[in-house]
Amino acid sequence: NADGICDGVAIGGDRYPGTTFIDHLIRFEADPNVKMLVLLGEVGGVEEYHVCRAIRDGLIKKPMVAWCIGTCSGEDIARLRAVCAIKKSFGHAGSLAGSALEQAAAKNAGLAASGVIVPASFDSLGDAVSKVYQQLVKSGKIIVKEEQEPPKKLGLIRKPAAFISTICDERGQELSYCGVPISSVLERGLGVGGTISLLWYELSYCGVPISSVLERGLGVGGTISLLWFQRELPEWACKFFELVLIVTADHGPAVSGAHNTMVTARAGKDLISSVVSGLLTIGDRFGGALDRAAADFCAAHDKGQHPQEFVNEKRARGELIMGIGHRVKSINNPDSRVRELKAYVTSRWPAWPVTRYALDVEAITTRKKPNLILNVDGIVAAACVDLFRHCQLQYTALTQHTPTRTNLILNVDGIVAAACVDLFRHCQLFTQSVHRTNTTHTYKNQPHPQRGRHRAACFDLFRHCQLFTQS
């Protein structure tokens, strides 16, 4: 019926509205882009009469089409008054007219008397708008613009995916499992077992099929390089990840994470709740010092700060040197884990400047106190920085949390093991492999099922190893 809406406001039927008809109509009158006005009122209230007064006073000069809904209520109230003492007329959403002036018919008549174009009914409101619009076009007040074709999606630009599935592909006309169309699955008669093998085992890590990962013997280190860094790192780098996992896989119950996990498991909570309670304790004092150690050693090395200056600066600030110090081990009783990692890095790596810097810091701190040695967190953190830089990964926000990510695997490994032991003991499922030494539990080689689909196999393994007393 027109060429579009320049501005529109829905006021509603609030008892005390923030704005009224006249407020917006005066604003539209001052807007040169607005060529005509359309007003839709209803039964109740006297706001429409203020509009009539503004038109008579010359405040509103633009052509206006208006209609007040609720004209049928006036006829109905006339019939009801003949049989009962009803003197009010109700409209939409609780609107009501307490007098004849507030009736919709009276307000429509008042608007028409003020020069407003009032249609015969609500159904003809659009026709009235179209009639006024055509008059404005003929008079030249509205210049009709060439209507442009609305834009259509070409499908050339894809929105970034919020969730990515590496198992099923449903983007085409046919569903596919790991690149195998479902029709091919049926034709080849793969059955449920073959489908499961595609869904569960024929995954790919950064484009490398898992079968290729196994055939090439990439191991855990190679898998980590594909999953975390989206590329295959050198053999010495992958071997380092595996070495870290091996030498630091701690299942001891004394640390805060394992302790919280055991307490939660003994309280009868499930495996997930028990593991989460242990993970919440990871911080600077337990398993979380690697990030800060890597950042400190890296920053000091990059700005050419002498190790003695680095130690003096930390002492002046009253800060601990993350990655330095051990409660039990010392220079006279070295940590075998650090010894193995240091020997591997210094003998097999092409370059290790940050690790050398950390060792120089250790040489200074141990002069003051023999237990201020480079601990396992420090050697792993410094070595990771050297690894990233040599492999051109850069020590940025993308990789700076990798030391803790590695240590998180180790903590989860030990925490899950502790939780499984205590959960099984709580359910009276274990008969051996749980030893007591001076009221302290030590757990060795305890199973920790990784996924629900391995549960049955784990049960058979436990039975074969005589870990169960009941099924």
Residue 65 belongs to a domain with what CATH number?
3.40.50.261
Within this chain, do residues 254 and 367 fall inside the same structural domain, yes or no? yes
Residues 388, 354, single domain; the answer is yes
57 pLDDT more than 60: yes
Q: Which of 2-6, 15-19, 121-125, 395-399 has the highest mean pLDDT?
A: 121-125
**Which domain does 312 fall in, by range?**
234-417
Q: Does residue 150 belong to any structural domain of this protein?
A: no
What pLDDT, in 10s, does the model give residues 425-448? 555 544 334 333 333 343 333 444
pTM here? 0.48
Out of 114-128, 192-206, 399-413, 439-453, which region has the weakest mean confidence (pLDDT)?
Answer: 439-453
Judge if 191 and 291 occupy the same domain.
Answer: no
- Sheet harboring 180-181: ordered strands across? 168-169, 176-177, 180-181
Does residue 196 belong to any structural domain of this protein? yes
pLDDT, average across residues 245-262: 76
* Res. 271 pLDDT band, cuts 50 70 90: confident
Strands 208-209 and 96-97: unpaired
Examine the domain organization and report whether 211 and 238 are in the same domain.
no
Domain match, 321 and 361 both: yes
Look at residue 71 in the predicted model and tell me its pLDDT.
Answer: 76
Give 287's DSSP letter.
B
* Strand-strand pairing, 37-42 and 64-69: parallel
Do 355 and 295 reside in the same domain of the chain? yes
Shared domain for 393 and 244, answered yes or no, is yes
pLDDT for res 348: 92
Claim to verify: residue 132 and residue 174 sit in the same structural domain: no
- Please compute the mean of the pLDDT values over residues 92-120 and round it to a whole number: 79
Predicted confidence at residue 367, as pLDDT, reads: 94
Question: In this structure, are 348 and 381 located in the same domain?
Answer: yes
**Alpha-carbon distances of 207 from 184, 217, 232, 238, rounded to whole Å:** 22, 16, 11, 18
Q: Examine residue 46 and state whether it is found in any structural domain, yes or no.
A: yes
Query: 64 near 22, Cβ under 8 Å?
Result: no
Position 418 scores a pLDDT of 57
Q: Identify the top-confidence range among 86-90, 151-155, 213-217.
A: 151-155
Distance (Å) of CA 163 to CA 160, 166, 202, 253, 336: 9, 10, 20, 37, 43
Mean pLDDT score, 5-34: 85
pLDDT for 434 equals 37
- Is the model's pLDDT at 130 over the cut of 80? yes
Provide the pLDDT confidence category of residue 252 given band limits of 50, 70 and 90.
low
Give CA–CA dist 48/22, Å, rounded: 8
For the chain, give the mean pLDDT.
76
**SS3 of residue 129 by DSSP:** helix
Write the Ramachandran bin of 442: left for phi over 0, alpha for psi from -120 to 50, otherwise beta: beta
Single residue among 189, 220, 251 that ends a domain in this structure: 220
Could you tell me if 296 and 199 lie in one domain?
no
Q: What residues are labeled active site?
A: 92
Segment 131-141 shows an average pLDDT of 89
**172 lies in the same domain as 111:** no
Instruction: Say if 149 falls within a structural domain.
Output: no
> pLDDT, tens digit, for every residue of 198-234?
555 555 555 666 666 666 777 788 877 877 777 788 9
| Pick from 47-51, 82-86, 95-99, 354-358: least confident | 82-86
- 157 to each of 127, 153, 161, 418, how far by Cα in Å? 42, 9, 12, 49
Q: Cβ contacts of residue 193 below 8 Å, gap of 6+?
A: none
Q: Is the same domain home to 299 and 354?
A: yes
Number of C-beta neighbours around residue 183 at 10 A? 11
Structural domain count of the chain: 3
pLDDT tier, 167 (very low <50, low <70, confident <90, very high otherwise): low
Cβ within 8 Å of residue 49, ≥6 positions away? 101, 107, 110
Q: Which residue has the higher pLDDT, 13 or 380?
A: 380
Pick the closest to residue 205 from 216, 192, 196 (CA basis): 216
Is residue 154 assigned to a domain?
Answer: no
E-state strands within 63-214: 64-69, 89-90, 96-97, 168-169, 176-177, 180-181, 204-205, 208-209
Res 31 pLDDT > 80: yes
φ, ψ dihedrals at 188, nearest 5°: -80, -5
Q: Where a domain ends, among 139, 160, 176?
A: 139
